[in-house]
Amino acid sequence: MTRLSGYLLPTEKQPPADAEAISHKLMVRAGLVRQMGAGMWTWLPAGWRVHQQVVAIIREEMDAIGAQEMLMPVLQPAEPWRKTGRIEIEELFKLTDRKGSELVLAMTHEEAVTFHIAQTVRSYRDLPLIVYHFQVKERDEPRPRAGVLRTREFVMKDSYSFDRDQVGMEERYALHIGAYDRIMERTGLCFYRVEGDVGMMGGTGAHEYMAPCAAGEDEVVLGPGYAANVEVALKTPGVEQVGEEYFKDGERLTSEPAIEIGNIFKLGTRYSVPLGATYLDETGADLPIWMASYGIGPARIVAAAVEQFADEHGISWPKALAPFAVHLVALGKLGTPERDAADTLYETLSQGNLEVLYDERDLGPGEKFADAELLGCPLRLTVGRKSLQDGEIEVQVRRGRQAVAPLPLDAEPVELIRAVDELWRSLP
């Protein structure tokens, strides 16, 4: 039960002076996030609710493919990173403790998880295996920008699969493709799964999940049966760039900016060999474990949703990500009949399954409606003097600011809860 009068939701009329991306402007204005330093962001209560909606979807889909959740440290010894050769990555934070021991702040956890697997997996009977965690990552980002899109600290879900051979790795990789596709579909985002570059991760192949939007720093190239980021596209036989246009085997391709919201990598034995992660097969031979890794950024999914669905009035969340399902607005001061009716409605709705944010602040209608549109909960219910006289609850769907048929204020609680729930289920 959340009353806005006691909720930390510091909305702003103006965006930050340095904000260019829509998500940066609106997430600050809507009271979802606040900046502490360059690339360092705090998630305020409503913003964290959205972030955790994404986390819940990811967790459900990872569990569904048999992945096991764990938690590994951000602060790590430098030695495993030295063994894999990644200690030289410029974006990797490096430090020493009071005893002079060399440490790093992890930007991803291949070294850590392979270190543990090398100690625990002994036999082919221990494989295959998938583990994952949600953990803070640190990155010495040279150019933090666009709010939570490019930061120095962020939460990432990274999972890792371990198999006896390449065939097994491909099977686990296919499982993750299915899980990631379902995650994206459940968030409501428009997305592309494109061929990606392995980059600093190494390995034999990669895919990226891209959400098209104007704030994206990546560019995707698309055609019938073909999708790749521009770097991979230009390395593909038959693809060429002419001016600002791309062609594949003479056919014109389209391109558009996008945000990378997830990536998956076929690592092979890139990490298992230098870190000694091996297993004994049926014949007693000692063989390297085949690995793949899979990352996805909840914060980027949140920002991408803002970018794709915002309008000139504020955010318009897909229902799967919204901080609250229903934004109930009371028009009327404490002690008035309309305020009493709104209080009763709030108590009724609180008995249902939908989460309700109740704006019972002592403010004018214009300010309340502006905040409701800025925050972007999918469904807005309003009770005021006019609606009380008509015996109705005003209903507005946030997407498109569409007014729909009012609900009867005097309906039985069970019927009212059912009607609101059915309306909610019909939303995108």
Closest CA to 325 of 379, 372, 279, 287: 379
- Indicate the residue among 251, 280, 309 that finishes a domain: 309
| 57 φψ region: left (φ > 0), alpha (ψ -120 to 50), beta (else) | alpha
Q: Is residue 144 part of a domain?
A: yes
pLDDT of res. 379: 97
- Say yes or no: 305 and 339 in one domain: no
Q: Is residue 345 part of a domain?
A: yes
Q: Please tell me the distance from the alpha carbon of residue 144 to that of residue 348, in angstroms, as a whole number.
A: 45
pLDDT of res. 426: 93
- Say yes or no: 297 and 333 in one domain: no
Model-level pTM greater than 0.85?
A: yes
Domain, as residue range, for 386: 326-425
Tokens read off for 6: 């006691």
- Indicate the residue among 275, 309, 343 that finishes a domain: 309
pLDDT of res. 216: 86
Q: Confirm if 291 and 269 have CB atoms less than 8 A apart.
A: yes
Q: Is residue 280 part of a domain?
A: yes
Give the domain CATH number at 388. 3.40.50.800
- Say yes or no: 295 and 215 in one domain: yes
- Say yes or no: 287 and 369 in one domain: no
- Say yes or no: 62 and 121 in one domain: yes
- Say yes or no: 229 and 158 in one domain: yes
Give the domain CATH number at 63. 3.30.930.10
Tokens read off for 360: 């019972």
- Indicate the residue among 277, 309, 341 that finishes a domain: 309
pLDDT of res. 200: 65
Q: Is residue 321 part of a domain?
A: no
- Say yes or no: 279 and 362 in one domain: no
Count of structural domains within the chain: 2
pLDDT of res. 350: 93
Closest CA to 325 of 361, 303, 357: 357
| Bridging pattern class, strands 245-248 and 205-212 | unpaired
Tokens read off for 180: 């990631």
| Bridging pattern class, strands 129-138 and 68-69 | parallel
- Say yes or no: 279 and 141 in one domain: yes
- Say yes or no: 248 and 337 in one domain: no
Q: Please tell me the distance from the alpha carbon of residue 54 to that of residue 320, in angstroms, as a whole number.
A: 8
- Say yes or no: 200 and 56 in one domain: yes
Tens digit of pLDDT per residue, the chain (428 long)? Answer: 699 999 999 999 999 999 999 999 999 999 999 999 999 999 999 999 999 999 999 999 999 999 999 999 999 999 999 999 999 999 999 999 999 999 999 999 999 999 999 999 999 999 999 999 999 999 999 989 899 999 999 999 999 999 999 999 999 999 999 999 999 999 999 999 988 877 666 667 889 999 999 888 889 998 888 888 888 888 888 888 988 889 988 899 999 999 999 999 999 999 999 999 999 999 999 999 999 999 999 999 999 999 999 999 999 999 999 999 999 999 989 999 999 999 999 999 999 989 999 999 999 999 999 999 999 999 999 999 999 999 999 999 999 999 899 999 999 999 999 999 999 999 98
Q: Is residue 418 part of a domain?
A: yes
- Say yes or no: 372 and 296 in one domain: no
Residue for token pair 């150019």: 143
pLDDT of res. 232: 85
Map 188-229 to HEC letters: CCCCEEEECCCHHHCCCEEEEEEEECCCCCEEEEEECCEEEE
Q: Is residue 315 part of a domain?
A: no
Q: Is residue 148 part of a domain?
A: yes
Q: Is residue 3 part of a domain?
A: no
- Say yes or no: 262 and 407 in one domain: no
